[in-house]
Chains A and B, each alone.
Chain A
Amino acid sequence: MSTLPKTMFEKVWENHVVVPETADTPAVLFIDLHLTHEVTTPQAYTELRARGLKLRRPDLTLATMDHSTPTRTEQVFGGVPIAVDSAAKQVQQLEINAREFGVELFNLQDSRRGIVHIIGPELGITQPGKTIVCGDSHTSTHGAFGALAFGIGTTEVGHVLATQCLLQRRPKTFAINVLNQLPKGVTAKDLILAIIGRIGVSGGTGYVLEYRGAAIEKMSMDERMTICNMSIEAGARAGMIAPDATTFEYLAQTPRAPKGEAWDAAVERWSKLPSDAGATFDRSIDIDASALVPMVTYGTHPGMVAPITGSVPAQGDALFEKALKYMGLKAGEPIVNVPVNNVFIGSCTNGRLSDLRNAARVLRGHKLAAGVKMLVVPGSQAVKRAAEAEGLHTVFLDAGAEWRESGCSMCLGMNGDLVPAGHYSISTSNRNFEGRQGQGARTLLASPETAAASAIRGRVTDPREFAN
């Protein structure tokens, strides 16, 4: 039987079709893993209760707390109440819902808790070939393992809770071919920012991205997750990377990956997932990794990004001017002249152990510049323990930074970790939208290395000046 060459996306999609799509109806797509958190689920459970529906597959559902949870140790473990009353209630509601519907929950004090997109991979439940959803747009992160993973709204969270399925139209495919290797001192974060700058913040709308090429193949899983995480910042609900030996080595170390014979069978299955030679994509672009330098955003969406060696561009339309006014920047201003008041290392984009190592390597032996505040927030409690085991926390504390419990923290202003109005925040997170880190906050997205170097100088700084 001859078959046409298929993309990885097509293989995963076809393997999950419960009812094929027709001209009149979308496909019924089976979901292998439903990750949930406190912010986007309460209304879905209310709906299930109202209809007398049960959770269909508790075994494929996991809950954690990350978005509205505090990161101060005394609030997480010391019995000091969560400052925001509604956040405290939301966290409580998740406990009630998890108990009533039978969902495994990592509560606030659980040693396995963390940002939902950090803990899925860490546990080994994020696996190649799975369909993975969560009421969070950064679910695209899990695509780094060759999973089809995308964010959904709360109504769809209810659909998955009740039926383990979603109604979906098949998206188009978009190959991002990353040619050559990144130069020394240029990171996965710089690459994805450059890709978003190139295709724009809606360039991926309607598509599933597949990141391919030599630079991607050489990357660690942590780096691949940083890349796939920000697919949504280019408008794509999902981004995927072919599973390979790097993927299998990572998963082999995780507690919930298959073991023994089941592992061997899984690896055999996963090895067939990469796109076939000759598979066609609806769209493709080539990016030369070797030409890149560290990237920093200067505006109010992630597509407004420039090389750190460059300047704020002059574009001139009213919206561009509005964004620069919000940022307090002028066209033509060198990026390295932008002051930094606040530094945030963390988030589902760059809150993994290697991110903390990279920031610490730059920061070691230095102090924060006068007036600079820095928050280092591990992506999970496991990342926190691993970082402490190798003494990374002392590097941050010695420099004058704060070392916190895991959570989404300062990536989004809903848990008490806020950037004051007017302050410049260099942040390893994913969104520089107006007010994202606090009302009036001015966010500059960058890699952990660039954030750490900027913390030392108190202005945007090329981390390659601290190369070692």
Chain B
Amino acid sequence: MPAIKTIRSRTVALPATNVDTDQIIPARFLTSTSKSGFGKHLFADWRYDAAGNPKPDFVLNRPEAKGAAILVAGRNIGCGSSREHAPWALQDFGFQAVISTEFADIFRTNCLKNGLLPVVVDDQTHAWLLANPGVELDIDVESTALTLPDGTQVTFPLEGFARYCLLNGVDELGFLVSQNAAISAYEQSHR
């Protein structure tokens, strides 16, 4: 996993609450056996019409969405299915961070495992970000703070180990493998 220290980008706002992972990536695209290529199917049923043409009014199809790496999503983003294809699709599309007031548990874990930064903000900041899409934000992983265009800093919670892994590009599987002696000892004592 590549290290992430800072993210500087415009935002795209998708204010719907309870956006489930079936919307982020519909099940019919999950028959792939690879991690790549899901970006074109991101929000497929909201993004394309029945004939497969992009819907011009959907936020990700608008010109201002191009190149934006921060998604501001409604409360409880990523509920439902545990499919990791959801963060894979968001990253493949170009997102590096998702901001919301609340993340579904499994989705949040899956984001962190892939270096897609989940940023939990307070209601007031969230409302402002939703009302002002397209603003340029700075997100700093080291200080766990995002900076609004007027210079206001808003800190966000990020568990220490997750922060360490993101900052150093440390991969958790490597860490777990390094615990082999403890795991073997547990196995011995729990036969």
Interface residues of A (CB under 8 A from B): 18-19, 23-26, 28, 30, 39-40, 42-43, 46-47, 51, 53, 56, 67-68, 84, 86-87, 89-90, 93, 135-137, 151-156, 158-159, 162-165, 167, 169, 171, 201-202, 205-206, 232-233, 235-237, 301, 303, 319, 322, 412-414, 421, 431, 433-436, 439
Q: Which residues of chain A have C-beta atoms less than 8 A from B83's C-beta? A: 39-40, 153
Which of A152, A171, A319 has a CB less than 8 Å from the CB of B16? A319
Q: Is there a chain A Cβ closer than 8 Å to B8's Cβ? A: no
List residues of chain A with CB within 8 A of the CB of B31: 39, 68, 84, 86-87, 89-90, 414
Q: Say yes or no: A155 contacts B82, CB within 8 Å.
A: no
Flag if A154 contacts B183 (CB, 8 Å).
no
Q: A136 to chain B: which residues have CB within 8 Å?
A: 81-82
Residues in B whose Cβ lies below 8 Å from that of A237: 105-106
Q: Within the complex, what minimum Cβ distance (angstroms) separates B180 from chain A?
A: 8
Please tell me if the beta carbons of A162 and B28 are within 8 angstroms of each other in the complex. no
Q: Mark B19-39, 1 if CB is under 8 A from A, else 0.
A: 010110011101111110000
| Shortest distance from the beta carbon of A261 to any chain B beta carbon, whole Å | 15
What distance in Å separates the Cβ of B167 from its nearest Cβ neighbour in chain A?
13
Residues of B within 8 A of A167 (CB): 161, 172, 175-176
Contact of B22 among A23, A84, A434 (CB under 8 A): A434
User: Which of A42, A90, A169, A322 contacts B159, CB < 8 Å?
Assistant: A169
Shortest distance in angstroms between A2's beta carbon and chain B's nearest beta carbon?
24
Q: Does B179 contact A (CB under 8 A)?
A: yes
Per-residue A-contact encoding for B87-131, CB less than 8 Å = 1, 0 else: 000000000000000101110011001100000000000000000
Q: Could you tell me if B177 and A40 are in contact, using CB atoms closer than 8 angstroms?
A: no
Using a CB–CB cutoff of 8 Å, the interface residues on chain B facing chain A are: 16-18, 20, 22-23, 26-28, 30-35, 45, 50, 74-76, 79-84, 102, 104-106, 109-110, 113-114, 159-161, 164, 172-173, 175-177, 179-180, 182-183, 186-187, 190
Assuming the A-B contacts A24-B161, A156-B109, are A435 and B104 also in contact, with contact meaning beta carbons closer than 8 angstroms in the complex? no
Cβ contact within 8 Å between A414 and B84: no
Most central of B80, B102, B175 by chain A CB within 10 Å:
B80
A48→B63 CA distance, assembly (Å): 40
Considering the chains assembled together, what is the distance between the CA atoms of A68 and B31 in angstroms? 7
Check B173 against A439 for contact (C-beta < 8 Å): no
Contact, CB under 8 Å: B177 / A413: no
Q: A23-B160, A202-B18, A205-B76 are in contact. Are A439 and B33 (CB under 8 A)?
A: no
A439 to B45 CA separation, bound complex (whole angstroms):
7
- Whether A137 pairs with B81 at a CB distance below 8 angstroms is yes
Given contacts A28-B183, A414-B30, 14 further A-B pairs with CB under 8 A are A28-B182, A30-B186, A56-B183, A68-B31, A89-B33, A153-B84, A153-B109, A164-B183, A167-B175, A171-B105, A414-B31, A431-B81, A433-B80, A435-B22
Does the CB pair B82–A202 fall under 8 Å? no
Q: Give the docked Cα–Cα distance between A139 and B80 (Å).
A: 12
**Chain B contacts of A154 at CB under 8 A?**
84
On whether the beta carbons of A43 and B34 are closer than 8 Å, the reply is yes
Given contacts A152-B82, A169-B159, A206-B105, contact A162 B183 (CB under 8 A): no
**Are the CB atoms of B82 and A18 closer together than 8 Å?**
no
Task: Find the residue from B34, B182, B186 having the highest chain A CB count within 10 A.
Answer: B186
Q: Which residues on A sit within 8 Å (CB–CB) of B35? A: 43, 46
Q: Would you call B80 and A431 a contact (CB within 8 A)?
A: yes
Chain B residues with CB below 8 A from A84, complex form: 31
CA distance A434 to B176 in the complex (A): 38
Residues of B within 8 A of A202 (CB): 18, 75-76, 79, 102, 104
List chain B residues, Cβ under 8 A from A30: 183, 186-187, 190
Q: Which residues of A contact B175 (CB under 8 A)?
A: 167
Q: Cβ of A431 and Cβ of B179 under 8 Å apart?
A: no
| 7 nearest CB pairs, A to B | A153-B84, A42-B33, A86-B31, A153-B110, A155-B113, A151-B82, A414-B27
Contact status of A18 and B186, CB under 8 A, knowing A28-B179, A42-B33, A47-B173:
yes
Residue of A nearest to B35 (CB): A43
Q: Which residues of A contact B173 (CB under 8 A)?
A: 47, 51, 53, 155, 158-159, 162-163
A-B contact pairs, 18 of them (CB 8 A): A24-B161, A26-B159, A30-B183, A46-B34, A46-B35, A68-B30, A68-B31, A136-B81, A152-B82, A153-B83, A164-B183, A232-B80, A235-B104, A235-B105, A431-B80, A433-B80, A435-B26, A439-B50
For A152, the closest partner residue in chain B by CB is: B82
Task: Give chain B nearest CB distance to A62 CB in angstroms.
Answer: 18
Contacts of A86 in B (CB 8 A): 31-32
